[in-house]
Structure 1
């Protein structure tokens, strides 16, 4: 009898697909260990196939979050040097993990007058590349391989759940939500897309400003965010996201980060409001980075947040993105461009 050979995978390949968890009668969580592995692996492997990652090529990117960790894991497997440009807000635990994987972390100390730290990081990135012989930049905010990589996730969701009527996800680069929904709509064109942002992010027409809730939102408008994919947009505050993050751990033993809490807030409401429709919520990464912050009562109190305060049971409906003030708010985007929304929906 011939024995079937075993299948072995690299660690990044083995953790690309999310676990699918039932969170309610019609609500499913797509639970990722590290969602950013999906675009990081796809982008770098595509670059390798095109001959853009020859030995001696330095991978360079700007990031303050989990995309950097995903790149560091993949760069270690590919035996390529990695330089990441970040800012002082980077989590200390994350920085140690990056260094342990062999990545160089270059910190910019001051935000740019326009675009904040993201703009100053981009300027530093260009400066570093100018001094290197051979580099490759994944450019997660503009590389079309970012959203394209999520076709794998969409197919996994479709194969596991079947018809998916709604996908809810946090928005940063725009890659995960836009890429997943575009691919799902090849099966179900009606699939509803709900983007979750935080206040004082420019992604959906608000003015840039300080944000305690990290991992979603942006100070610059990324090319990979296709606003015409979105049916509705929710803005979530840090206290609401933190409370839902801890609720998910206590109620479902889901140990995820605050972007997952923000997405879950909107998804739980949407699923309850549409009981005959199936809803999937994207839960991007595990909670280990947040043990000293979101999961720490002392830190949360220092931020002036009462973690025991009740979370609203529904969002405030707003008629313009600028009306989404500080609490959980919802706006019917209707698959329009940003320019169309801002031109037609006057305050």
Structure 2
């Protein structure tokens, strides 16, 4: 019998684009450093949440789903609505670019985009206010509440299966942006059902209330989706073993360095996670570090990648180890969190 060359084996035919793009590409960045690179990671959150809501009868076919987003989740929710025959309304951050907005509109979503503002905090407050106003006008719509509804954890169990099958046995640390808490939290909760010793390292920007850096300001901060100016109910602080706070310049160094060294084009949150993970991986060579690359770098072309000549060399950067939140300082601080509660 003639053996078919591996390269000629037919690829799976997917029924919907969400099935094709949700799984990550796993890329080795070093002896004990692996990147899970996504086109848009939040497809897992959106699909898992929408399926759960439909199955439970909380949402019915044809209903309108609404949420606020800085971009990645908006596109994921619009695709999930497209797949399951639902309507979608997005209250978009001022940081949502023309590329994402055009995709949302073609997918049938209606978009309310906030005007330019002096800070991401003001932008976030405006979005929440707009959502509440729309809910008052249209009680038939369902607010997805990606920041607070734990239903967004559900979809990441599938990702945990992929990680468990693909990574070598032994000690594992997941490194990723905290954001709403659902992606890193959902992944690690599922992984810890197999191995309670799996560690989680979270990435935060300065100025975020999530892990207490709100007193510090990063004047160039545009790292959408990593932190927050308001508390997020989906962040389970007790899941995190370690935290890194990274400013824009250092995140930019990580993102440009990742493209330069590994030809991986990814966003600022991935750049910050890569910077932190490569530092930790060198200190613990016996442990595997899985870096979460939540999205591509397309929305950062103008403000990051077109300025690549200005990027710092990641080899020359290192964090300051702190023992308390009072000691946090720019541009890069790190601290053992030890799975404790916060406030």
Provide the TM-score with structure 2 as the length reference: 0.89
Aligned partner of 2:177 in structure 1 is: 170
Aligned partner of 1:93 in structure 2 is: 99
Residue 257 in 1 paired to residue 267 in 2?
A: yes
Change (3 A) 1:89 1:289: closer
1:174 and 1:226 in contact (8 A); partners too: yes
Aligned partner of 1:157 in structure 2 is: 163
Once the two structures are superposed, residues 58-106 of structure 1 have per-residue CA deviations (whole angstroms, 9 ceiling, x without a partner) of: 1110112200011111222223221111232322222122122221111
CA distance in structure 1 between the partners assigned to 2:326 and 2:122 by the alignment:
20
Residue 192 in 1 paired to residue 199 in 2?
A: yes
Match of 2:341 among 332, 337, 341: 337
**1:51 positional shift:** 2.4
Change (3 A) 1:157 1:310: closer
Match of 2:280 among 260, 270, 283: 270
Aligned partner of 1:74 in structure 2 is: 80
Other structure's SS at 1:338 match: coil
**1:10 positional shift:** 1.2
Change (3 A) 1:27 1:338: same
Aligned partner of 2:129 in structure 1 is: 123
Between 1:313-322 and 1:203-212, the stretch displaced more is 203-212
Provide the TM-score with structure 1 as the length reference: 0.88
CA distance in structure 1 between the partners assigned to 2:178 and 2:25 by the alignment:
20
**1:113 positional shift:** 11
Aligned partner of 1:179 in structure 2 is: 186
CA distance in structure 2 between the partners assigned to 1:182 and 1:188 by the alignment:
10
Once the two structures are superposed, residues 227-264 of structure 1 have per-residue CA deviations (whole angstroms, 9 ceiling, x without a partner) of: 11111100011111111111111111111111100000
Instruction: Please tell me the root mean square deviation across aligned C-alpha atoms, in Å.
Output: 2.3
**1:313 positional shift:** 3.8
CA distance in structure 2 between the partners assigned to 1:190 and 1:56 by the alignment:
43
CA distance in structure 2 between the partners assigned to 1:114 and 1:94 by the alignment:
18
CA distance in structure 1 between the partners assigned to 2:295 and 2:278 by the alignment:
18
1:112 and 1:119 in contact (8 A); partners too: no
Other structure's SS at 2:175 match: strand
1:269 and 1:313 in contact (8 A); partners too: no
Task: Return 5+ residue gaps in structure 1 as ranges.
Answer: 1-5, 340-347
Aligned partner of 2:236 in structure 1 is: 226
Change (3 A) 1:277 1:309: closer
Change (3 A) 1:214 1:312: farther
Q: Aligned residue pairs: how many?
A: 329
CA distance in structure 1 between the partners assigned to 2:182 and 2:55 by the alignment:
21
**1:50 positional shift:** 2.0
CA distance in structure 2 between the partners assigned to 1:165 and 1:113 by the alignment:
37
Change (3 A) 1:75 1:20: same
Task: Return 5+ residue gaps in structure 2 as ranges.
Answer: 1-11
Match of 2:318 among 300, 314, 317: 314
CA distance in structure 2 between the partners assigned to 1:11 and 1:150 by the alignment:
18
Residue 49 in 1 paired to residue 59 in 2?
A: no
Change (3 A) 1:125 1:195: same
Change (3 A) 1:87 1:19: closer
Change (3 A) 1:312 1:321: farther
Other structure's SS at 1:90 match: coil
